[in-house]
Amino acid sequence: MNDFEFSEDIMLIIDRFENMVNSKKQQYFDVVEFVEIIDFYIENIDFNEALNAVKYAFIQHPNSYDIYEKQAEIFISTNKAKQSLKILELLGTETYEIQLLKASAYLLVGNKEKFNEYINICVSQNTNDTFDFIYKIAVAYISSNKWFNNAILFLNQALNIIKDNYFIYNDLAICYEGLEDNKKAIYYSKKYLDIDPFDETTWFNLGIIYEKILNFTKALEAFEYTIAINEKYIPAYLKISGIYITLEQIPKAIDMYTELLEIVDSKQEIYCLIGECYENISSFEEAYNYYTKALKIDDKYADAWFGLGVVKYETNETFESLYFIKRAIELDKENDEFYFQLGKVYEKLDFLPELMESYEKALELNPQDEEYRYTLADKYFFSNKVEKAIETLLFDNVETTNSAEIQYRLAFYYAKIQNVKLSLFHFQLALDLDSEFELYENISLKFDEVIKTKTFNNVIKKTKNK
CA angle 184, 188, 194 (to 5 degrees): 145
- Looking at residue 152, its amino acid is I
Please indicate, yes or no, if residue 206 is contained in any of the structural domains: yes
Instruction: Note the pLDDT of residue 437.
Output: 82
Please indicate, yes or no, if residue 241 is contained in any of the structural domains: yes
Residue 410 host element (H or E): helix 404-416
CA angle 233, 236, 241 (to 5 degrees): 135
Scored b (16 or more CB within 10 A) or e, 1-30 reads eeeeeeeeeeeebbeebeeeeeeeeeeebe
Alpha helices in 213-335 (DSSP H): 216-229, 234-246, 250-261, 268-280, 284-297, 302-314, 318-331
Q: Is the dihedral of CA 319, 320, 326, 329 positive or negative?
A: negative
Instruction: Note the pLDDT of residue 455.
Output: 86
Q: Between the CA of residue 198 and those of 171, 222, 227, 283, what are the distances in Å?
A: 17, 12, 11, 40
Please indicate, yes or no, if residue 239 is contained in any of the structural domains: yes
Q: At what angle do helices 454-465 and 420-433 cross, to 10 degrees?
A: 60
State the total domains in the chain.
Answer: 1
- The three-state secondary structure class of 165 is coil
CA distance 98 to 259: 56
Residue 140 host element (H or E): helix 127-144
Instruction: Note the pLDDT of residue 258.
Output: 97
Please indicate, yes or no, if residue 229 is contained in any of the structural domains: yes
- Our measurement of the distance from residue 170's CA atom to the centroid of its chain's CA atoms, rounded to an integer in Å, reads 20
Containing structural domain, residue 172: 166-264
* Closest by CA position to 77, among listed 56, 55, 100: 100
Please indicate, yes or no, if residue 302 is contained in any of the structural domains: no
Please indicate, yes or no, if residue 216 is contained in any of the structural domains: yes
Please indicate, yes or no, if residue 41 is contained in any of the structural domains: no
Give pLDDT tens digits for 349-400. Answer: 999 999 999 999 999 999 999 999 999 999 999 999 999 999 999 987 665 6
Q: Taking the CA atoms of the chain, what radius of gyration do you get in angstroms? A: 30
- Looking at residue 209, its amino acid is I
Residue 407 host element (H or E): helix 404-416
Please indicate, yes or no, if residue 182 is contained in any of the structural domains: yes
Q: Which segments of 294-425 are extended strands (E)?
A: none
Per-residue model confidence as pLDDT tens for the chain (466 residues): 344 556 778 889 999 999 998 988 888 999 999 999 999 999 898 999 999 999 999 999 998 999 999 999 999 999 999 999 999 988 877 899 999 999 999 999 999 999 999 999 999 999 999 999 999 999 999 998 889 999 999 999 999 999 888 889 999 999 999 999 999 999 999 999 999 999 999 999 999 999 999 999 999 999 999 999 999 999 999 999 999 999 999 999 999 999 999 999 989 999 999 999 999 999 999 999 999 999 999 999 999 999 999 999 999 999 999 999 999 999 999 999 999 999 999 999 999 999 999 999 999 999 999 999 999 999 999 999 999 999 999 987 665 678 899 999 999 999 999 999 999 999 999 988 887 788 888 888 899 899 888 888 888 888 877 6
Q: Which bin fits 332, alpha (ψ -120 to 50), beta or left (φ > 0)?
A: beta
pTM of the model: 0.81
Instruction: Note the pLDDT of residue 259.
Output: 96
Instruction: Note the pLDDT of residue 145.
Output: 84
Contacts of 178 (CB under 8 A, 6+ apart): 142, 145, 148
User: Which CATH number do you get for residue 248?
Assistant: 1.25.40.10
Reported residue count of the chain is 466
Largest distance between two CA atoms of the chain = 84
